[in-house]
Structure 1
Amino acid sequence: MTQITIEPARADRFADAEHALTGGGDGADCWCQWWMHAPKDFDAATPDERRALLREDLATPVASALIAYVDGAAAGWVKVSPRPDQPRLARTRNIQKSPEPMDDPDVWAITCFVVRTEHRSQGIASRLLDAAVEHARTHGARLVEGYPLDTDVKRFSSNDLYHGTLSSFLAAGFTETARPAPARPIVAKQLA
């Protein structure tokens, strides 16, 4: 029987983070830095520089991401941290439609999912979402927010699905709080 576990992404698990992020999609180019930097700074950084920035991120006392393991092998990734720690969110027009203050450190954001190609369609993204909510709750979040895609409104490429899908967030108990674009809702789950 397959065993799926979720663990904090820490510095001592950097090789696992690399493995999780490089199995499909843009993870090996982005290194989960998209939401961390202004567009000009992100664009100016090479993939190797972004990889080094990820290594620094994993050294923080509270993990800003989680890694899914399938039978001990890194299989997936989710980014979850206080919204102010992901500064590009505040500069993104659609996300600015959130009813929550952009600078509130008690609002956490789930912004990125990666599941290695060979582990897709096994419920790993849903397990990562549930674990991200619990991680935020454990570390004092009063609310966790997500920016998924509504695949009932529009078809998206698998690379675009790093945002997550609206149906997954709704199944995890999130509610829609805004819809800045037809297929781009904002969802939230109250934790405290």
Structure 2
Amino acid sequence: MAEITIRPATTERFADAEHALTGGGDGGSCWCQWFMLTGREFDDTSRDEKRERLRGDLATAPTSALIAYVDDEPAGWVKVSPRPAQPRLARTRNVASSPEPLDAPDVWAITCFVVRREHRKQGLNARPLDAAVRHAREHGARVVEGYPIDTDAKKTSTNELFHGALSTFLDAGFTEVARPGAARPIVSLTL
């Protein structure tokens, strides 16, 4: 059985972050900047600039992401930080439907999962999700939110699953608090 460990994404582990993010899907083009920039800024920022922005993000404390390792190989990624630290969230219909105040610094958001192609369909997202909740709790979160896809309500491509699957969040103890779209619930866990 494979050994799975979760470690903070830091500038010292940037090569591991690159490996985790570039194993399929949009990770290598987005560099986890989708919720960090406005739509226009995102479109006007090159891949290399996004990559360097991520490096800067990982230099802050507490870190805004965690890396999942399978047998010491970087295999997955999860983004978790206070909602106000992810400015594009405030502009989304999903978050606007949240019962929590948009600017609450003690409400953290889990906004991005990446699993390398060779590690998919093994339930790997559950471990980074649990670690993200612990990370948020250790750094003062009162509530952790997610904005997953309900795969029972919509056929979903692998790239769309960067939000996570509703079933994974529910299995981790989150509850649905709003549903601004047919397949787009908001889930919450009070710590």
Pairwise TM-score range, normalised by the shorter structure? over 0.9
Shift of 1:94: 2.4
Contact in 1 for aligned 2:83/2:108 (Cα 8 Å): yes
Matched, 1:35 2:35: yes
Structure 1 Cα separation of the partners of residues 108 and 13 of structure 2: 22
Q: Distance in 1 between matches of 2:182 and 2:91?
A: 20
Deviation at 1:61, TM superposition (A): 1.6
Checking the alignment, whether the CA contact within 8 Å between 2:67 and 2:77 is kept in structure 1 is yes
- Cα distance in 2 between the residues matched to 1:188 and 1:117: 28
8 Å Cα contact 2:107/2:145 also seen in 1: yes
CA distance in 2, matches of 1:133, 1:80: 8
Percent of aligned positions that are identical:
69
Note the aligned Cα RMSD (angstroms). 0.6
Distance (whole Å) between structure 2 residues aligned to residue 93 and residue 3 of structure 1: 38
Listed as ranges, the matches of 1:51-62 within 5 Å are 51-62=51-62
Q: CA deviation at 1:124?
A: 1.4
Counterpart in 2 of 1:159? 159
Tell me, which stretches of 5 or more residues in structure 1 are unaligned? none
TM-score where L is the length of structure 2: 0.99
Structure 1 residues 91-100 or 29-38, which shifts more? 91-100
Partner of 1:119: 119
Unaligned runs of 5+ in 2: none
For 2:96 and 2:57, how far apart are their aligned partners in 1?
24
How high is the TM-score relative to the length of structure 1? 0.98
Match of 1:17 in 2: 17
Does structure 1 residue 97 correspond to structure 2 residue 97? yes
Task: Specify the alignment match of 2:137 in structure 1.
Answer: 137
- Size of the alignment, in residue pairs? 191
Structure 1 stretches of 4+ with a deviation exceeding 3 A read none
SS class of match (1:74): strand
Q: Any conservation in 1 of the 2:94–2:147 contact (CA below 8 Å)?
A: no
Residues of 2 paired with 1:122 and 1:93: CA distance? Answer: 31
